[in-house]
Structure 1
Amino acid sequence: MGKEVQMSIKMEQELRDQFMAVAAGRHRPAAQIIRDLMRLYIANNETPNALTAETIRKGRQGEDVFQASSASDLFKQLDI
């Protein structure tokens, strides 16, 4: 693990109080929850994510590519 640093954020007192109460109720340190949320946010916003990268790869190789004359034609090909 890398060097730990401190971070401060501004928020409404009510939001902080509610968050701290939930964290305490779950017996988890608030800082750990924030770190987990940050990791989740990063993972969900990587460009491209794993599914997008795989879809791009397949498209470039001609896999799972459909040619359709209209949306109805595409839906029919996809059996939707």
Structure 2
Amino acid sequence: MRVYVDIDSCEGCGMCVSLCEEVFCLAPDGRAGSKMFNVPQDSEGDCFLAVQFCPRHCIRIRDIRKSKGNGIQNFEL
């Protein structure tokens, strides 16, 4: 699974970092970013929580696991 942060929408509250510090960090300008492009499988649950509780809804997840069709599913909670 891959994670993307829309830094233009981020308000820098740090919710994602507090829920999933393995994947997210705050940049010097105060906005969130991801430490990695591909999320480790053991961090996926916490990453989903970060998506769910982001007040600005600026985190997107793409599931790249194989499925019917093109194998890509986008999640926006």
Question: Which TM-score applies when normalising by structure 1?
Answer: 0.26
Question: Which TM-score applies when normalising by structure 2?
Answer: 0.26
Higher helix share: 1
Q: Which has the higher contact order (CA 8 A, sep 6+)?
A: 2
Higher strand share: 2
Which structure has the greater CA radius of gyration?
1
